[in-house]
């Protein structure tokens, strides 16, 4: 079976084609993506992002089919991101998916974006039954599988961790190309001074809005036009740099994630952690999670930017898993939603 997947829940439009065969690993036939980048200091707005997706979706579908060396007759189903995500971009993608389904007479499958990340991560890494840390621009959740559902053990109480990083990048006017989180990560590698920031773990949940607010206030002290006595300094009197603040932000928020993930591992008795979502490509997060897991006699699984960052192949893969259990989305029900929780999906393809 072959599925075409369309992803466009945020600023990336992704088209993927995947093949499933009995008793064989999935085969990725095509995985194309194009990103809408706003100017430095600005975030991507829904309207402009949706227009970007509409401008690129047809050419990416054509390129993906050409790259996969298949015909339209080979495609078993059309999979699209039902949610969660930004309303206007989601609508642009579901419109394209409906159009393809009608033109080619193919069944539709609406896919939960979060489940797409999890299933792609499991397939690529081979993780068997891990605790999943799902971290992206719009989501922060600690998840474990039980009784045909991905159960949420902890999550953000306000903004997602990726949103926290992205918004701080805007404060420092860090470029959005290739993406703000990557540029913050590169700056953080040059940081040498740790600046105290609020640490907000509440049970199994975390809060990032207060940390962002505190970091924004501290960032005002980086202005080189300020008098020397007004500049932000360490306790030793050394000037704090942009790199120091990026380093401090990462260390604080990643430590919070490690804490709640370790608690979930202890609860479910798992020794494996699977990190998925765009922030999951951060090397420092993978390193910190690895230290914790090794101390528990466990291991960490993560993918590279091809599969961590939003992509069409994860939607094709998860959608095909659903399709193989008999799940389809009737045309009149092929809607999208900004709020679609991970634990709402019945995971009929797992024991």
Q: What span, in angstroms and rounded, lies between the C-alpha atoms of 93 and 57?
A: 8
Residue 137 annotated as part of some ligand binding site: yes
Q: What is the pLDDT of residue 235?
A: 87
Residue 229 annotated as part of some ligand binding site: no
Regions of the chain where pLDDT drops below 70: none
Residue located via tokens 């991905």: 150
Q: What is the pLDDT of residue 23?
A: 86
Q: Catalogue the long-range contacts made by 227-233 (C-beta closer than 8 Å, 24 or more residues apart).
A: 232/195
Residue 166 annotated as part of some ligand binding site: yes
Residue 310 annotated as part of some ligand binding site: yes
Residue 185 annotated as part of some ligand binding site: yes
Angle at 262 between CA 259 and CA 264, to 5 degrees: 110
Intervals of CATH 3.30.420.40 along the chain? 2-119+309-344, 127-307
Residue 235 annotated as part of some ligand binding site: no
Q: What span, in angstroms and rounded, lies between the C-alpha atoms of 49 and 277?
A: 19
Residue 182 annotated as part of some ligand binding site: no
Residue 113 annotated as part of some ligand binding site: yes
Question: Do residues 118 and 129 touch, judged by C-beta distance below 8 A?
Answer: no
Which residues of the chain form beta strands (DSSP E)? 2-7, 12-19, 27-35, 77-83, 108-112, 131-135, 140-146, 149-155, 201-202, 205-206, 272-276, 299-302
Please give the class, per CATH, of domain 2-119+309-344. Answer: alpha beta
Question: Do residues 121 and 274 touch, judged by C-beta distance below 8 A?
Answer: yes
Q: What is the pLDDT of residue 4?
A: 98
Count CB atoms within 10 A of the CB of residue 67.
Answer: 14
Q: For the segment 247-300, what is each residue's pLDDT rounded down to a tens digit?
A: 999 999 999 999 999 999 999 999 999 999 999 999 999 999 999 999 999 999
Residue located via tokens 């299933």: 119
280-308 core/surface letters (b: 16 or more CB in 10 A; e: else) = bbbeebbebbbebbeeeebbbbbbeeebb
Query: 279: which 2 tokens?
Result: 């922030």
Q: For the segment 86-135, what is each residue's pLDDT rounded down to a tens digit?
A: 999 999 999 999 999 999 999 999 999 999 999 999 999 999 999 999 99
Q: Which CATH fold topology does 127-307 show? A: Nucleotidyltransferase; domain 5 (3.30.420)
Question: Do residues 80 and 323 touch, judged by C-beta distance below 8 A?
Answer: no
Q: What is the pLDDT of residue 351?
A: 85
Count CB atoms within 10 A of the CB of residue 340.
Answer: 21
Quote the pTM value: 0.94
Question: Is 25 strand, coil or helix?
Answer: coil
């Amino acid at each position: 079976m072959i599925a075409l997947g369309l992803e466009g829940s945020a600023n990336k439009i992704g088209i993927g084609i995947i093949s499933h065969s009995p008793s064989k690993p999935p085969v990725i036939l095509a995985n194309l993506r194009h990103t809408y980048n706003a100017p430095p200091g600005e975030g991507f707005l829904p309207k402009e992002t949706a227009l970007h997706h509409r401008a690129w979706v047809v050419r990416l579908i054509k390129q993906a089919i050409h790259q996969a060396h298949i015909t339209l007759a080979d495609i078993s189903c059309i999979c699209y991101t039902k949610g969660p995500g930004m309303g206007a971009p989601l609508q642009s993608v579901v419109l394209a998916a409906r159009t393809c389904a009608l033109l080619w007479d193919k069944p539709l499958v609406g896919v939960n974006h979060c489940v797409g990340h999890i299933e792609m991560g499991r397939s690529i890494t081979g993780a068997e039954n891990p605790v999943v840390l799902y971290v992206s621009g719009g989501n922060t959740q600690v998840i474990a599988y039980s009784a045909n559902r991905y159960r949420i053990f902890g999550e953000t109480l306000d903004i997602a961790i990726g949103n926290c990083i992205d918004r701080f990048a805007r404060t420092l006017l860090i470029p959005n190309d290739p993406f703000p989180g990557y540029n913050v990560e590169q700056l953080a590698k040059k940081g040498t001074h740790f600046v105290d920031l609020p640490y907000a773990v509440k049970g199994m949940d975390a809060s990032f809005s207060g940390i962002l607010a505190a970091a924004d206030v501290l960032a005002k002290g980086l202005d080189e036009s300020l008098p020397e006595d007004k500049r932000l300094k360490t306790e030793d009197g050394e000037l704090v740099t942009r790199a120091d603040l990026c380093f401090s932000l990462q260390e604080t928020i990643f430590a919070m994630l490690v804490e709640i993930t370790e608690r979930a591992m202890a609860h479910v008795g798992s020794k494996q952690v699977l990190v998925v979502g765009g922030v999951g490509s951060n090397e420092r997060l993978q390193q910190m999670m690895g230290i914790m897991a090794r101390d528990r006699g466990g291991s960490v699984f993560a993918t590279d930017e091809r599969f961590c960052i939003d992509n069409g192949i994860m939607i094709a893969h998860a959608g095909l898993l659903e399709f193989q259990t008999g799940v389809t989305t009737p045309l009149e029900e092929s809607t999208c939603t900004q709020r679609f929780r991970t634990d709402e999906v019945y995971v009929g393809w797992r024991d």
